[in-house]
């Protein structure tokens, strides 16, 4: 089940100022089924078992933007500030059941829980703020865009413990001692600057420089939380998110039809 809803408001204040606000909500429920080979596992008396990945996720957020146009002498400016906030709580578990009779068909014995691989929750909070200005000179032939954004992603993971599955307790719980983990991505302030110069109607030159950060891989069932518990302290003390600085310089040509 996948449900999505949003409302968007756009407001024009005079001729020069525009405000946009968009709250949203997304709910996802489901499960992935697999009649899986046991590969000789000691906890499965049969060569085939049934595995299900059960998940539910609730996320909501807000997008907001304010843009204002103003002139400073012969220079035209468009100033913009905005932000994005999202909170996402995801739960995921993976139980395995024995089949009623694997030699006769795929029917599952939901009263016979063989194993619970994991039962975890991840809470992700994303915060982005930005401000930028675009200035146009020389009768709009030269455009300069400059600004910065702030990025932080909070990520907290917890092990929920040996939970009942369909009213039963798994005979084997694989993840009982996995500790909680907090692994935020602290992007900080990331500058961006760019320029475009129109040589003529069909040719232009451009240059850009920007910094960006790639957040840690976040998933309750994988990514940083799927590491060996003994590595968590080392991760928190040493790992830093990947940060890249990109430079671009080039020319664009529009060919007449």
pLDDT tens digits, one per residue of 211-244: 999 998 998 888 888 887 677 777 777 888 899 9
Instruction: Provide the pLDDT for residue 73.
Output: 83
Does residue 133 belong to any structural domain of this protein? yes
φ and ψ of 237, to 5 deg: -85, -25
Does residue 63 belong to any structural domain of this protein? yes
In 3D, which of 169, 177, 245, 167 has the Cα closest to residue 213? 245
Per-residue pLDDT of 163-188, as tens digits, reads 788 778 888 998 888 888 888 999 99
Where does the pLDDT of residue 55 fall: very low under 50, low under 70, confident under 90, or very high at 90 and above? very high
| Residue partners of 104: CB distance under 8 A and separation at least 6 | none
Does residue 13 belong to any structural domain of this protein? yes
What average pLDDT does range 151-164 have in this prediction? 90
Instruction: Provide the pLDDT for residue 15.
Output: 87
What percent of the chain is predicted at pLDDT more than 90? 72
Does residue 72 belong to any structural domain of this protein? yes
For 60-90, letters b (16+ CB in 10 Å) and e give: bbebbbbbbeeeeeeebebbbebbbebebbb
Q: Which domain holds residue 149?
A: 2-48+58-91+121-154+185-253
Instruction: Provide the pLDDT for residue 178.
Output: 87
Across the chain, mean pLDDT equals 92
Q: How many domains does the chain have?
A: 1
Instruction: Provide the pLDDT for residue 57.
Output: 94
Predicted TM-score (pTM) of the model is: 0.85
191/130 Cα distance (integer angstroms): 10
Does residue 77 belong to any structural domain of this protein? yes
Instruction: Provide the pLDDT for residue 237.
Output: 77
* Alpha-carbon separation of residue 229 from 45, 156, 216, 250 (angstroms): 29, 14, 17, 47
Instruction: Provide the pLDDT for residue 257.
Output: 62
In 3D, which of 64, 67, 61, 68 has the Cα closest to residue 82? 64
């Amino acid at each position: 089940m996948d449900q999505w809803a949003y409302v968007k408001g756009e407001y024009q204040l005079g001729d020069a100022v525009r405000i946009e606000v968009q709250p949203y909500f997304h709910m996802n429920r489901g499960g992935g089924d697999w009649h899986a080979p046991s590969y000789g596992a000691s906890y499965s008396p049969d060569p085939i078992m049934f595995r299900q990945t059960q998940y539910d996720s609730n996320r909501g957020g807000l997008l907001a933007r304010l843009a204002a146009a103003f002139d400073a002498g012969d220079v035209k400016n468009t100033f913009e500030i905005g932000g994005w906030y999202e909170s996402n709580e995801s739960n995921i578990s993976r139980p395995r059941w024995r089949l009623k009779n694997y030699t006769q068909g795929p029917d599952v014995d939901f009263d016979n829980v063989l194993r619970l691989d994991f039962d975890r929750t991840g809470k992700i909070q994303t915060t982005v703020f930005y401000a930028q200005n675009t200035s146009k000179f020389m009768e709009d032939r030269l455009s300069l865009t400059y600004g910065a954004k702030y990025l932080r992603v909070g990520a907290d993971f917890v092990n929920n413990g040996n939970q009942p599955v369909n009213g039963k307790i798994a005979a084997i719980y694989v993840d009982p001692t996995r500790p909680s983990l907090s692994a935020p991505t602290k992007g900080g302030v990331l500058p961006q600057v760019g320029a475009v110069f129109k040589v003529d109607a069909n040719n232009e030159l451009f240059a850009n420089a920007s910094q960006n950060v790639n957040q840690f891989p976040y998933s309750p069932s994988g990514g940083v939380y799927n590491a060996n518990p003994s590595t968590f302290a080392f991760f928190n003390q040493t790992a830093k998110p990947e940060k890249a600085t990109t430079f671009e310089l080039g020319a664009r040509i529009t060919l007449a039809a």
